[in-house]
């Protein structure tokens, strides 16, 4: 069995020698043209005049296109049809594409684009939560509200109420490979597009619409991305559509890649949030009622903001049972880039909200926050411990709202009515406290802080409970295509895309296991809309769950046909046919797999099959906020220790200990990579990564010179990662769990450890906003000293 082995990434050898090809590395036909957008320099208003004569006259320019030059209105929105490829004259953010330059070289296109003379009639931009609320600028008619119980009454009778607000900054994806696309016009008007995209089907759909073609005339191929993180779920649409319309207009291949600054300025980011809260609690820190108001800054177009904001609401509980709860979510339309998917998809912001509440309540009652967290955890899983598979009758019906009605005080029921069947964070926390030597370190930190007034240390444990499934239920499906060739080699294809997470290798391990083949016998091929149609984005951590299952089903279909054929030939039962160690055993006979494949081919057995999988048991009413949106939950917990300089606010992560639940891991090496990388990316989001827009709505941090993702020395010096070894109760592929997004939220422990360190400076509560830059930390130190 190749599953569960710590094999390297499928392309590791090609990554290190430079032969792994990304879109910009694909050799292009002679005559390929290069594209660049001319973008708005103001955040809101109307274009009153646009003189493109100097652009057209610039060296190397072949064509300049405006919205009026397009044969069809090209829209690049993934949702609401509200994103014209090129502005129709109205400007919604600084960086919005106004026109498209088509030139002989990338540099010529960039140079030409800057020569436009554009005049605007400017309106004051809407940039803050308060401005958006005042202007009633929002998506959907009003706030969405989920919850249960009577929050007002419970708050009124609660012994104490913690009240506050946290600002949570956005996050630039900073995939190392910027957005890129290449369109190759074909005979008959067809188009082939190579894109750096998590969602080839959507690229196909948007390109087909822009060209007035049926989807069958457009084929999109994605071999790999140089990082995605959600930033290539919808944000690549514009480049692919631009290349396609320019290729149609010129009859020549067209390529577009954003310069890094353009990438920052044009594309959306993780949604900044403001979360206001009121939390009723008792003297021990037990939560009695919690009210959240979540304000999501969505930017100018809808994009994926509604499901992002939904997921923030669905993670407002994180690991905690909230007896009375009300979550009000405002999706604010502002004059920023259109904020979009980013690893966690709103979940992280929702989770920061409740972790902040726990931190605040613990401070008020004077207890170690980890104790207050544990006090409020959901009820631990019963029936046979965490590794026991979910029994048949324990599988809850999709409509768990019935459980909500019957047992409102059941400590296993989420605010949206789903029963948390497999809560293991109690046991995980206990183990992590032990392995991280928490108690002794807590004492050492206290001792250090008593003796040092300049450098203060802080320690925090935070848990993660993350719901796995697309909340748009119909997206939870996947297809695969597997071929066995007569020489015994296997080609596999599926709808998932490879962005570094190791999906291709995991899925290949699944196929190799079915056929009993060594990994080198299995070829993973580029994602291709011509092979597997109607795919979902590779997102929501679902890649392995969905595509692994589809590939297994397709592989098993072929293996079943081979077994039936060989069984008949040898007069044994098909169940007696075994695929292992590169051989096929049929009763007493044993064939090399290649021999068996050839025999099947000669015997006219089809050696090609599709596989199709849809996640069972989920249903969700997003308007009501009720149902079972998630097939299961993934869990994790992290302990972070930090040091803070009280003179400057500078800080550093000293040590991180992580315990993470990846189910029965398909590949522990790749999963460890997701955990370590997710933690550091989450820590970066909450500390060094600050997006700054000026008062005119222009993004001032638009390159790595000014926007600081973690560097090598920002990784914790001591970095311990361990797995919670237990099979998934849900019937996932080899009982593994999704691991793409959940570890990002382990980084929340860093923000809370900083809060702990700052709290050591004085009697007040730090109320630390994110990102906790040195400046914000120093301000928080002033606050706690002020009382």
Partner 1 sequence: MRTAFLLNGIPVETETRPTETLLDWLRTHRGLTGTKEGCNEGDCGACTVVVTDRERGARALNACILFLPQLHGKAVRTVEGLGDDGAPHPAQQAMVDHHGSQCGFCTPGFVAAMAAAHAEERSDHADALAGNLCRCTGYAPILRAAKAIETAPRPAWVAGDRAALDTHRSFFLGEISSGGEAAQPPRGADSPPDPACVLPETSDQLATWYAAHPDATLIGGATDVGLWVTKELRDLGPVAFLHRCRDLQEIEVGEREIRIGAAVTLDRVRALMAEYHPSFAELLRRYGSAQVRAAATLGGNIANGSPIGDSPPPLIALGATLHLRHGATRRSLPLEDFFLDYGRQDRAPGEFVEAVSFPRRPDRLRVWKVSKRFDQDISAVCGAFDLAVEDGRIAAARIAFGGMAATPKRARAVETALLGQPLTPEGVAAADAAWTEDFRPISDMRASADYRLNVARNLLQRYALDHAGRATSVLEVRP
Nearest to 154 by CA among 284, 319, 275, 326: 326
Q: Are 250 and 63 in contact (CB under 8 A)?
A: yes
What φ, ψ does residue 482 adopt, rounded to 5°? -125, 135
**Cα(first)–Cα(last) distance of the chain, in Å?**
61
Q: Are 432 and 639 in contact (CB under 8 A)?
A: yes
Token pair of 740 as six digits: 């793409």
β-pairing, 33-39 vs 254-257, is parallel
Token pair of 299 as six digits: 């930017």
β-pairing, 527-528 vs 218-222, is antiparallel
Q: Closest CB to partner 1 among 287 and 760?
A: 760
Q: Closest CB to partner 1 among 426 and 704?
A: 704
Sign of the Cα pseudo-torsion (475, 258, 185, 493, in order): negative
The rounded distance, in Å, linking the Cα atoms of 357 and 279 is 7
Q: Closest CB to partner 1 among 16 and 623?
A: 16
Q: Closest CB to partner 1 among 491 and 779?
A: 779
Active site annotation includes 291: no
Q: Closest CB to partner 1 among 680 and 738?
A: 680
Q: Closest CB to partner 1 among 588 and 712?
A: 712
What φ, ψ does residue 308 adopt, rounded to 5°? -65, -50
The rounded distance, in Å, linking the Cα atoms of 562 and 423 is 42
Give min distance, CB of 587 to partner 1, in A: 41
Q: What is the 3-state secondary structure (H, E, C) of 662-680?
A: CECCCCHHHHHHHHHHHHH
Give min distance, CB of 305 to partner 1, in A: 23
Nearest to 31 by CA among 60, 74, 64, 67: 60
Nearest to 465 by CA among 669, 727, 748: 748
SS3 61: strand
What is the CA 683 to chain-centroid distance, rounded?
15
Class of residue 276 by CB neighbours under 10 A (exposed 0-12, middle 13-18, buried 19+): middle
Q: Are 678 and 744 in contact (CB under 8 A)?
A: yes
Q: Are 207 and 481 in contact (CB under 8 A)?
A: no
Which residues lie closer than 8 Å to 640 by C-beta, 6 or more apart?
Answer: 459, 460, 653, 655, 656, 683, 716, 749, 750, 752, 753
Give min distance, CB of 287 to partner 1, in A: 32
Give min distance, CB of 13 to partner 1, in A: 6
Give min distance, CB of 470 to partner 1, in A: 23
Q: Are 174 and 709 in contact (CB under 8 A)?
A: yes
Nearest to 196 by CA among 174, 227, 241, 217: 227
Give min distance, CB of 279 to partner 1, in A: 31
Q: Closest CB to partner 1 among 147 and 649?
A: 649
Tell me the Ramachandran region of residue 311: left when phi exceeds 0, alpha when psi lies from -120 to 50, beta otherwise: alpha
What is the CA 523 to chain-centroid distance, rounded?
27
Token pair of 453 as six digits: 């007034």
Q: Closest CB to partner 1 among 354 and 780?
A: 780
Give min distance, CB of 311 to partner 1, in A: 22
Which residues lie closer than 8 Å to 18 by C-beta, 6 or more apart?
Answer: none
Give min distance, CB of 701 to partner 1, in A: 5
Give min distance, CB of 401 to partner 1, in A: 39
Q: Closest CB to partner 1 among 228 and 285?
A: 228
Give min distance, CB of 694 to partner 1, in A: 8
Active-site choice (202, 233, 355, 741): 741
Q: Closest CB to partner 1 among 224 and 729?
A: 224
Give min distance, CB of 755 to partner 1, in A: 16
Which residues lie closer than 8 Å to 209 by C-beta, 6 or more apart?
Answer: 72, 74, 75
Distances 352 to 92, 183, 317, 657, 696 between C-alpha atoms, Å: 29, 41, 10, 19, 29
Q: Which residues make beta-bridge pairs with 257? A: 180
Class of residue 520 by CB neighbours under 10 A (exposed 0-12, middle 13-18, buried 19+): exposed
Q: Which helix (H) or strand (E) holds 183?
A: strand 180-185
Q: What is the DSSP string of 299-338?
A: ESS-TTHHHHHHHHHHTSSTTB--SEEEEEEEEEE-SS--
Give min distance, CB of 323 to partner 1, in A: 37
The rounded distance, in Å, linking the Cα atoms of 88 and 362 is 52
Q: Closest CB to partner 1 among 178 and 185?
A: 178
Give min distance, CB of 465 to partner 1, in A: 22
Q: Closest CB to partner 1 among 264 and 630?
A: 264
What φ, ψ does residue 124 adopt, rounded to 5°? -65, 125
Length of the chain: 787
What is the CA 766 to chain-centroid distance, rounded?
29
Catalytic residues: 741
């Amino acid at each position: 069995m190749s599953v569960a082995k710590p094999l390297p990434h499928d392309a590791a050898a090609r990554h290190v020698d430079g032969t792994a090809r990304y879109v910009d590395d694909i050799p292009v036909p002679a005559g390929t043209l290069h594209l660049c957008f001319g973008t708005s320099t103001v955040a809101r208003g109307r274009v009153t005049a646009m003189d493109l004569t100097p652009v057209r006259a610039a060296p190397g320019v072949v064509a300049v296109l405006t919205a009026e030059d397009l044969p069809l209105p090209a829209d690049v929105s993934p949702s609401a049809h509200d994103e014209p490829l090129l502005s129709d004259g109205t400007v919604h953010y600084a960086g919005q594409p106004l026109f498209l330059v088509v030139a002989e070289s990338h540099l010529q296109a960039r140079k030409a684009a800057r020569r436009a003379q554009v005049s605007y009639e400017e309106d004051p931009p809407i940039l803050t939560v308060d401005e958006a609320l005042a202007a009633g600028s929002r998506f959907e008619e009003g706030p969405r509200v989920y919850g249960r119980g009577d929050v007002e009454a419970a708050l009124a009778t609660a012994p104490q109420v913690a009240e506050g607000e946290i600002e949570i900054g956005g996050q630039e994806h900073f995939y190392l490979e910027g957005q890129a696309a290449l369109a190759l016009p074909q005979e008959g008007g067809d188009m082939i597009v190579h894109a750096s995209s998590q969602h080839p089907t959507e690229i196909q759909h948007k390109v087909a619409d822009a060209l007035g073609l049926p989807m069958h005339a457009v084929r999109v191929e994605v071999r790999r991305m140089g990082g995605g993180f959600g930033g290539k779920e919808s944000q690549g649409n514009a480049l692919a559509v631009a290349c396609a319309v320019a290729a149609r207009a010129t009859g020549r291949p067209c390529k577009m890649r954003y310069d890094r600054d353009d990438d920052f300025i044009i594309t959306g980011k993780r949604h900044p949030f403001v979360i206001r809260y009121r939390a009723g609690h008792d003297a021990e820190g037990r939560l009695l009622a919690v009210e959240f108001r979540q304000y999501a800054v969505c930017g100018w177009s809808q994009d994926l903001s509604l499901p992002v904001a939904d997921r923030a609401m669905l993670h407002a509980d994180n690991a905690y049972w909230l007896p009375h709860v009300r979550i009000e979510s405002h999706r604010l339309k502002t004059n920023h880039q259109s904020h979009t998917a980013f690893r966690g998809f709103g979940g992280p912001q929702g989770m920061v909200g409740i972790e902040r509440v726990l931190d605040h309540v613990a401070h008020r009652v004077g207890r170690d926050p980890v104790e207050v967290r544990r006090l409020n955890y959901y009820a631990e899983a019963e029936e046979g411990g965490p590794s026991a598979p979910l029994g048949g009758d324990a599988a809850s019906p999709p409509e768990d709202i019935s459980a909500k009605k019957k047992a409102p005080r059941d400590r296993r029921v989420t605010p949206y009515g789903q029963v948390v069947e497999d809560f293991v964070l109690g046991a995980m926390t206990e183990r992590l406290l032990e392995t991280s030597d928490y108690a002794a370190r807590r004492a050492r930190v206290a001792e250090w802080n008593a003796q040092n007034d300049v450098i203060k240390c802080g320690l925090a444990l935070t848990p993660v409970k993350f719901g796995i499934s697309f909340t748009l239920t119909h997206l939870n499906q996947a297809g695969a295509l597997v071929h066995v060739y007569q020489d015994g080699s296997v080609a596999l294809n599926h709808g998932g895309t490879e962005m570094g997470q190791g999906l291709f290798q995991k899925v290949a391990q699944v196929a190799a296991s079915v056929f009993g083949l060594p990994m080198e016998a299995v070829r993973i091929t580029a994602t291709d809309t011509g092979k597997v149609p109607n795919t979902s984005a590779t997102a929501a951590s679902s890649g392995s769950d969905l595509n692994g299952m589809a590939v297994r089903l397709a592989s098993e279909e072929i293996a079943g046909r081979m077994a039936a054929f060989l069984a008949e030939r040898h007069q044994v039962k098909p169940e007696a046919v075994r695929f292992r160690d590169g051989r096929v055993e049929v009763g007493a006979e044993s064939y090399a797999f290649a021999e068996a494949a050839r025999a099947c081919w000669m015997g006219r057995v089809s050696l090609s099959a599709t596989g199709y999988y849809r996640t069972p048991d989920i249903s969700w009413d997003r308007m009501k906020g009720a149902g079972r949106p998630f097939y299961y939950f993934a869990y994790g917990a992290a302990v972070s220790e930090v040091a803070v300089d009280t003179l400057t606010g500078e800080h550093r992560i000293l040590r991180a200990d992580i315990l993470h639940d990846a189910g029965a891991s398909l590949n522990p090496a790749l999963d460890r990579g997701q955990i370590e990388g997710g933690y550091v990316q989450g820590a970066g989001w909450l500390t060094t990564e600050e997006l700054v827009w000026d008062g005119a709505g222009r993004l001032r941090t638009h390159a790595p010179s000014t926007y600081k993702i973690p560097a090598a020395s920002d990784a914790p010096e001591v970095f311990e990662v361990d797995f919670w070894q237990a099979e998934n109760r849900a019937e996932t592929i080899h009982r593994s769990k999704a691991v793409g997004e959940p570890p990002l939220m382990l980084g929340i422990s860093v923000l809370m450890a900083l809060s702990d360190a700052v709290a050591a400076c004085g009697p007040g509560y730090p109320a630390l906003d994110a990102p906790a830059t040195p400046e914000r930390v120093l301000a928080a130190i002033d606050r706690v000293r002020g009382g």
